[in-house]
Amino acid sequence: MNPSTLRIATRKSALALWQAEHVAALLRAAHPGLVVELVPMSTRGDEILDQPLATIGGKGLFLKELEVAMLEDRADLAVHSLKDVPSQLEPGFVLPAILPRADAADAFVSNDYADLAALPHAARVGTSSLRRQAQLRSLRPDLVLLDLRGNVGTRLGKLDAGDYDAIVLACAGLERLGLAARIRSRLAAPDWLPAPGQAAIAIEARDDNPGVLSLLAALDDADTRLTISAERAMNQALGGSCTVPVGAWCMLGEHGLHLRGMVGDAASGRLLRADASGPGDQALALGRQVAAALLEQGAGKLLGL
């Protein structure tokens, strides 16, 4: 039997709340009469802002408190940016719905410079993402890369205060918050790869609640799930951690899937790349194939495997 009310666990940041409200609106439209409530909460990933994510446990820190709320029956589902969801979920949890992907590119944001090439020598660029650092260092080894944590508003505030000459954020996050005008240029595939699953919103729920799962299934986008499955399979085969720079971008065309993968070194800017194509029903195998090609090139040393 389907419940008449759904409770969404969400982080309290403006972007997380936007995503949760977006899911709530979609659920109400798909199931007229359904009551949907938000349960905002803070996570360790939100609270520890003075250290890089890679040193305090990775992006999974954004999920734990939301999963506990579901286990304790304080919430029925949680809404996440899929790039923050570990490639291996905790036992008892599934992703019954992945929404259509938005713009997966990264955004070059600056008040004084139009793009990465326009930055002066030794310009200060803010990002705590090792993936972004590796690609920045590969393209512009002269840049001074500085850590940048906090929500979107906090990061933009630090840029506007003059702490950085430029920062790198996700295009999708800026667009969802009505801040697309801050994007000076896009850092996009194939030259620049996003995080696996970037720009897709994922809905997580317990696997033992069929009523909730059936309501959520109406929001699932099959094409996005297919391409992201390849990216996440590649990431999982490489260790599935956010403590190393891994990028992935999969496209679905009339001839099937094409996956590009990257592993980098944030210190040196060395990038290893691989890509492969395959039929749409072989997304997981394609991800493992690209991961194997990267490991053959020596990605294991960069990943600490």
Does residue 174 contact residue 135 with C-beta atoms inside 8 Å? Answer: no
HSE, CB side, 13 Å, CA atoms: give it for residue 292: 7
* Cis bond before residue 190 (omega within 30° of 0): yes
> Residue 180 — φ and ψ, nearest 5°?
-60, -25
Q: In b/e form, how buried is each residue of 248-267, taking b as 16+ CB within 10 angstroms?
A: bbbebeeebbbbbbbbbbbe
| Residue 84 known to be catalytic | yes
Distance of CA 240 to the CA centre of its chain: 13
d(CA 209, CA 1): 10
Per annotation, catalytic residue among 84, 103, 165, 265: 84
Does residue 19 contact residue 201 with C-beta atoms inside 8 Å? Answer: yes
Paired strand residues for 256 = 253
Q: Which helix (H) or strand (E) holds 222?
A: helix 222-237
Q: What number of other Cβ atoms are within 10 A of residue 187's Cβ? A: 20
Does residue 159 contact residue 109 with C-beta atoms inside 8 Å? Answer: yes
Active site residues: 84
